[in-house]
Amino acid sequence: MSKLNCQIFDSMGDTELKKYLHSKLKSCKIRVISNELSLKTIDSKAEVLGVFVDSEVDKKVLDKMPKLKLIATMSTGYDHIDLEECKKRNITVCNVPNYGENTVAEHTMALILSLSRKIYPSIKRVKEGHYDFVGLRGFDLKGKAIGIVGTGSIGIHLITMLKCFETKVIAYDVKPNKATAKKYGFTYVSFDKLLSRSDIISFHVPLFPSTHHMINKKNIKKIKKGAYLINTARGGLIEAEALAKGLKSGQIAGAGLDVLEEEELLQNPKKILYTEKKDRDGLLKTNQMNKFIVDHPNTIITPHNAFNSTEALKRIIDITAENIIAYSKGSVQNIVN
Ligand code: NAD
């Protein structure tokens, strides 16, 4: 039996990771490119494609890969892959569910605590040589209402941590699970109630058409004045313009974000050159809003790094390799389409 031909785009460019991938996929013919996917480096003969979330797999990419049978995304989210086009071409798409519930929840908790105790400006001040606490007063989490949007793996893991801080947790999910709420000690409310009652709102839902701009220019006014927004899920959940305006007016006191709408442009400004003309103005406007958000004194932004722990990456590679090997043996697992 001939070996499956796999092309993997490892944008981490990490030598150890590359070695680990090779060791796990000895039964396949694999080529690892230490970069994100580009049309120039695609192997048209590849049957399996492995990507991280920064590699967009759209129609143009699929057109160049006529032999493609499987896309193994090394992530939980799969909004960077055109599932409709994959379906038309009989390409199976699988993901890595649950590799990082604690990893992403821990990062989220770090963002919440950094905001509540002004950790970033405090450290910056001392490093700059000023040992002085004036203007650095924070607030306690104990007793605060925390709204969790999405009570899947990450949301629930975060809730268990938040309960240790004696916070009052309320949640919204399209599929509420009463038994889970009872077990972890929180209450489900409508999305509008969550917005109006929470002191801190944290997002843990996938980016779907139904969740795109869950926070937008209209409903941002429904958020309790002076609340904080946390987003470690996907940038497109929060409209950048709405958040920028909310921060400017003081409706939103601050934000802790690991993801931003159209963050690809912050990563690589040249992307604007490959954007269709009709979409350029919108993209540039979002980019301007992102710059305002990044520069705002009450925001802390990390570069889509919540997943990036040694342990989580090992789990990602292990499950991706299992997905590919299962496929090579005629079975499939973790399918998303
Ligand atoms: P999950 O599938 O376990 O949970 C998602 C939850 O969202 C489910 O309970 C689901 O019912 C709910 N949901 C779906 N659509 C909804 C809607 N329209 N309204 C309300 N709730 C809705 O996913 P997870 O493992 O908890 O991950 C959540 C998201 O976190 C992922 O989809 C991914 O985009 C993101 N993520 C980010 C990073 C990072 O590095 N920043 C890493 C991993 C995952």
CA–centroid distance, 233 to ligand 1, in Å, is: 7
Per-residue confidence (pLDDT) for residue 1, from 0 to 100: 63
Residue closest by Cα to atom 12 of ligand 1: 150
| Euclidean distance between CA atoms 261 and 244, whole angstroms | 12
Atom in ligand 1 nearest the alpha carbon of residue 305:
40
- The reply to whether 101-301 shares the fold of 5-99+310-328 is yes
Q: What is the pLDDT of residues 289-327, one digit of tens each?
A: 999 999 999 999 999 999 999 999 999 999 999 999 999
Per-residue confidence (pLDDT) for residue 268, from 0 to 100: 85
CA distances to 4, 77, 325 from 108, rounded to whole Å, are: 38, 17, 33
Q: Please give the model's pTM, rounded to 2 decimal places.
A: 0.93
- For residue 304, indicate whether it is catalytic: yes
Q: Map out the domains of the chain as residue ranges.
A: 5-99+310-328, 101-301
Q: Which of 80, 107, 157, 304 is catalytic?
A: 304
Q: Which of 234, 241, 261, 262 is catalytic?
A: 234
Quote the percentage of the chain above a pLDDT of 90: 88
Question: What mean pLDDT do residues 27-49 have?
Answer: 93
Q: What is the dihedral of CA 223, 258, 106, 188, to 10 degrees?
A: 30
- For residue 106, indicate whether it is catalytic: no
> Residue 61 class from Cβ within 10 Å (0-12 exposed, 13-18 middle, 19+ buried)?
buried
Q: Considering only CA atoms, which of 150, 125, 143, 146 is closest in space to residue 135?
A: 125
CA distances to 1, 238, 239 from 217, rounded to whole Å, are: 56, 10, 7
Residue closest by Cα to atom 17 of ligand 1: 174
CATH homologous superfamily for the domain 101-301: NAD(P)-binding Rossmann-like Domain (3.40.50.720)
Which CATH number fits the domain 5-99+310-328, given the four candidates 3.30.70.790, 3.40.50.720, 3.40.50.300, 3.90.1150.10?
Answer: 3.40.50.720
Q: How confident is the model at residue 2 (pLDDT cuts 50, 70, 90)?
A: confident
CA–centroid distance, 225 to ligand 1, in Å, is: 26
User: Ligand 1 — pocket residues by CB below 6 A?
Assistant: 76-77, 100-101, 104, 150-155, 173-175, 204-208, 210-211, 232-234, 258-259, 304, 306-307
Buried b (16+ CB within 10 A) or exposed e, 198-208: bbbbbbbbbbe
Atom in ligand 1 nearest the alpha carbon of residue 104:
42
